[in-house]
Amino acid sequence: MPPTPQRDFSAPTIVIGAGPHGLAVAALLRRSGVPAVILERSDRVGASWAQRYDHLRLHTTPGASKLPGLSVPRQAGPWVSRDDYVRYLERYVTHHRLDVRVATPVQRIERAAPGSGAQWLVHTPGGVVPTDAVVVATGRCHTPNLPDWPGRSAFTGTLLHSAHYRSPAPYQGQDVLVVGAGNSGTEIARALAGAGAGRVRIAVRTPPNILPRSSARWHAVGRLTEALPLAWRDRTSLLTQRLSVPDLTSRGLPRPRTGLYTRNAREGVNPVLDHGFVDAVRSGRVEPVATVQGFDGPDVVLTEGTRLRPDTVIAATGYRPGLRHLVGSLGVLDEDGQPLTTGAQTHPEAARLYFAGYTNPLTGVLRQAGIEARAIAHAFRRETARAPLPSPRVADRTADTRRGGHAPS
């Protein structure tokens, strides 16, 4: 049975989200002597990881996937599975003795009244939590983004977002269209083709930058070349792709014209790391097609006019951060709902409100979790040196409100 969260409390710092970024921030704040309470909407640590598809494996090696203060176990192998990483996050909570309040969704954050002894008020279904600082770490992959295609609601087949796809088993013998050629879309298409789907097509809007699976090398290259001109890095990356990935133009997937560094800078898109997708396209088991324009009854209409009639459409069309309900009234988001400041930087009108986990660097998202956590902890130390933090009472911090040591997206 999951622990019952404590509602009636206050804390110097509230961290929202018990994923990698939230846990890393809380661990380094605790190391700096700053008590932090993590509020998690689900009933477990690492829920967003645990809910992903069964065959998910990290695109970074264990050394680039660890959070500050604890290594990923060697037994997890070179490409860590979803379940192994969730277990690692749970162990991380125990190792650092973090205070995680599960089943405690945050409804909104608002400024506290002047002179109230708190900077922020964090609203939860169980009450309002006053606090001096808030770190929002709910992640950039919070809310599935399902495009509002014309005719979508009247589609007579099955339509789901990749967030709700779990395994290829239910689709054996089916005609499946995967929409989106990022890492999730290509991995799902490859898995479906290898597990007996009747036909698998993948709708591609922009040809992806594809690299071999040796992601440790590519993340290292990303770190080593950060200071070089973007155009030089793009030319080098396109040349590398030509040398290491076969030309799939005859199969309907032309080579990209934009380098992976420019795409990352403009769109926040990372390259596709090949887990068998290239071979599946070469063999015809996965068929690239044009992107989706809309739906018409049982048909999917592509942009060049072709009509398909799949049994199932899986939309690997990304996520939104879903921050408007939390902080939309505070003036800290851009027009796309992204934080205007991240990491140790805060908005001029929102002191001590931090955002962690809203970038997608080529150097690795999990590595970035440690970088942002260290920066935020350092910012707290600077603030403490200038004006010591108040110490609000943390009521009844009992063992049954901790998540550490409990087995479970």
36, 97 contact by CB (below 8 A): no
Average pLDDT of the chain is 89
Query: Do 394 and 284 lie in a common domain?
Result: no
The position carrying tokens 């899986």 is 314
Strand order in the sheet with 307-308: 292-296, 299-302, 307-308
Query: Do 125 and 78 lie in a common domain?
Result: yes
Query: Do 26 and 121 lie in a common domain?
Result: yes
State the average pLDDT over residues 85-93.
98
Q: Could you report the per-residue pLDDT of 11-41, keeping only the tens digit for each?
A: 899 999 999 999 999 999 999 999 999 999 9
Query: Do 185 and 329 lie in a common domain?
Result: no
Query: Do 336 and 285 lie in a common domain?
Result: no
Give the per-residue pLDDT at 220. 60
| CA atoms lying within 13 Å on the CB side of residue 237 | 31
Domains held by the chain: number:
2
Specify if 4 maps to a domain.
no
Query: Do 158 and 301 lie in a common domain?
Result: yes
- What distance, in Å, lies between the first and last C-alpha atoms of the chain? 18
Specify if 58 maps to a domain.
yes
Specify if 408 maps to a domain.
no
Query: Do 137 and 173 lie in a common domain?
Result: no
**pLDDT above 80: residue 54:** yes
Specify if 214 maps to a domain.
yes
Specify if 2 maps to a domain.
no
Residue (of 365, 300, 53) closest to 190 by Cα position: 53
Query: Do 16 and 44 lie in a common domain?
Result: yes
Three-state secondary-structure class, residue 284? coil
Domain boundary among 285, 318, 351: 318
What is the CATH number for 54? Answer: 3.50.50.60
Specify if 203 maps to a domain.
yes
State the average pLDDT over residues 98-116.
95
Query: Do 329 and 305 lie in a common domain?
Result: no
Specify if 198 maps to a domain.
yes
Give the per-residue pLDDT at 232. 84
Specify if 406 maps to a domain.
no
Query: Do 232 and 380 lie in a common domain?
Result: no
Domain boundary among 281, 296, 318: 318
The pTM assigned to this predicted structure is 0.88
Query: Do 80 and 168 lie in a common domain?
Result: no
Alpha-helical segments (H) within 173-274: 183-194, 215-224, 230-244, 260-267
Expressed as residue numbers, the domain containing 170 is 146-318
Query: Do 376 and 329 lie in a common domain?
Result: yes
Q: Please enumerate in sequence order all residues whose Cβ is within 8 A of that of 9, keeping only pairs 6 or more positions apart, or say none.
A: 37, 129, 393, 394, 395, 396, 397
161, 142 contact by CB (below 8 A): no
Domain boundary among 318, 334, 369: 318
- Distance between CA atoms of 243 and 253, rounded to whole angstroms? 16
- Distance between CA atoms of 124 and 126, rounded to whole angstroms? 5
Residue (of 202, 205, 207, 213) closest to 285 by Cα position: 202
In degrees and rounded to multiples of 5, residue 169 shows phi and psi of -55, -45
